[in-house]
Amino acid sequence: MKPAPKHVHTCLRNLRHIVKANKQATAGHLIAQLNPVIRGWANSHRHVVSKAICIKVDTAIFQTLWSWATWRHPKKSGRWIAQKDLQTRHGLSFDP
């Protein structure tokens, strides 16, 4: 059983709208606004087994946030942007 494509597109459209509406927000404020939406979508589809859909959604969210971060810092390198805006918890980091 997979999530309906309509639900996936609606969730991604809402996330992209939040990011576009908060272009000047700091990374912390943007993540604070995105977390409830992502958590709600994940909780409503937790009984659905579809690793491929979750990977696609994760990739789409990352691409949206990466484009937001590169828009914010147009003259900085990808490594700097990743260390500044896209840090993860528990010491893990992203390396483009």
Residue 24 within a domain: yes
Overall number of domains in the chain: 1
Q: How far apart are CA 81 and CA 85, in angstroms?
A: 6
Please indicate, yes or no, if residue 11 is contained in any of the structural domains. yes
Domain around 36: 5-85
- Residues 41-87: pLDDT tens digits? 888 888 876 788 888 888 999 999 999 999 999 999 988 988 887 77
What's the longest Cα–Cα distance across the chain? 44
Residue 47 inside a domain? The answer is yes
Please indicate, yes or no, if residue 41 is contained in any of the structural domains: yes
Would you list the DSSP string of 20-67? Answer: HHTTTS-HHHHHHHHHHHHHHHHHHTTTS--HHHHHHHHHHHHHHHHH
Residue 58 lies in a domain: yes
User: Pick the residue with more confidence: 26 or 16?
Assistant: 16
